[in-house]
A = this chain, B = another copy of it.
Amino acid sequence: MAKDIVQGFKASAGAAGIKKNGGLDIALIFSEKPAASAGVFTTNRVKAAPVILSQENIRKGRVRAVIANSGNANACTGKAGLDNARREAELVARELGINPDEVLVASTGVIGTPLPMDRIERVIPGLVKQLLPEGLQGAAEAIMTTDSFSKISRFEGEAGGKPYQILGMAKGAGMIMPNMATMLCFVLSDIHIDSIHLSKSVSFAVKSTFNRISVDGDTSTNDMVLVLANGMAGNGELTSDEYERFQIGLTHVMDTLATMIVRDGEGATKVVYVKVKGAASQEDAETAARTVANSSLVKTAFFGQDPNWGRIMAALGRSNIRMEEGDVHIWVDEIQIVKQGLAVGDDAEKQASKCMAQKEFSVTIDLRQGKHEDQVVTCDLTPEYISINSDYRS
């Protein structure tokens, strides 16, 4: 896939036997030149060892490599776990002839089990030898856990007459549940940008994308978004217009990945856009959208194609936002099912149910309390979710 290339980046993937099924479970990404970097990390108080190490290394400056494994989260593994993460960085650095501080580490998988360091150690020299510009697709596959497909998204831009690329890969499924599975996202670009502007862009993009598909604070022990920009596009300092376009491009890449994650929600059959408008404040709009989007009863009704707006009203009522029952209007796509807090009627609900038979639809709630709006993307809750998660470790 010649398209999945970014100037100056190489990648490789391997099977270290961390996953029980013997599949690809380790990926290496390498930048020929030291890259400006920025990251967003889990806010969970229980942070996996690779999160602690990568936070530390990203603060130190330029980054050259990312080593990531699936099958084992290296979380709740204590001091030995942190030593293992450091050891991974050292092994990669030694083979690549770089500094261990220039290596970021990411892990996803089962919590509480030590990394099989002997096997990882054995596989790293091969990963370095196999580094190729075309290796990014394989890397995207190697970080998958319960994902049913690999996730890559791209954007092409221009700055100072020089074309540049942004390529993102992510793993994650089911994070739209009240407990999210680990989400990893690596974005690579050859744009030349300073770390401060890069960090700002990343915070902005994450806020309106990945943070809109998960419950506030419901972060796993291992979540991270890492963005590397190696400057090999050769552009000069970005004008404010160019910077803005880069931000849009980065948001586009993350938005596409975030929607892929929802679509790949564990056992999900539908993607639902929960839109709230007319909220009294931005916070109310967000809280209302999140509460509805994360309600197990609402999500189960989505699965059943049941426009059960009573559950939406009940979720709004317990979300602690400013609202008046008699002011609420609700639509499924273009079909209004609630008018001033009351049912529009059976015909409307029958039509709404037809909309809900689609793979994607929207639910719009107008609170009529103010001018603020927000959106959270969610999926339906299905029996398949239970079966995926009840035997995840076995």
A-to-B contact residues, CB < 8 Å: 43-47, 73, 75-78, 110-113, 177-179, 181, 217-221, 294-298, 300-301, 303-304, 306, 308-311, 313-318, 320, 323, 325-326, 338, 340-343, 381-383, 385-387, 389-394
Contacts and interface: CB of A to CB of B under 8 A. Distances in A.
Nearest to A387: B383
Nearest to A174: B297
B392 A306 contact: yes
A330 to B, nearest CB: 10
A297 B389 CA distance: 7
A219 to B, nearest CB: 6
A45 B317 contact: yes
A37 B304 CA distance: 41
A178 B113 CA distance: 29
Contact of A391 (B46, B306, B315): B306
Contacts of A317: 44-47, 221
Given A112-B310, A177-B297, A179-B315, A76 B386 contact: no
A112 B179 contact: no
A179 to B, nearest CB: 4
A276 to B, nearest CB: 15
14 contacts: A45-B320, A75-B310, A76-B338, A76-B342, A110-B310, A111-B311, A112-B309, A113-B343, A179-B295, A179-B315, A219-B318, A301-B390, A306-B394, A382-B386
Nearest to A381: B386
Given A76-B342, A306-B391, 5 more contacts: A44-B318, A46-B314, A177-B297, A301-B390, A306-B392
Contacts of A382: 386
Contacts of A44: 314, 317-318
Contact of A318 (B217, B301, B383, B386): B217
A73 to B, nearest CB: 7
Given A221-B317, A313-B111, A304 B178 contact: no
B386 A386 contact: yes
B389 A386 contact: no
Nearest to A394: B306
A73 B76 CA distance: 46
Given A300-B389, A386-B303, A76 B310 contact: yes
Contacts of A297: 177, 179, 181, 389
A310 B389 contact: no
A392 B301 CA distance: 8
Chain A to chain B: the 4 pairs with minimum beta-carbon distance, closest first: A111-B310, A304-B390, A46-B317, A383-B383
Contacts of A47: 317
Given A178-B296, A390-B301, A318 B45 contact: yes
A110 B392 CA distance: 35
A386 B314 contact: no
Given A386-B303, A390-B303, A112 B318 contact: no
A216 to B, nearest CB: 10
B325 A45 contact: yes
Contacts of A313: 46, 75-76, 111-112, 221
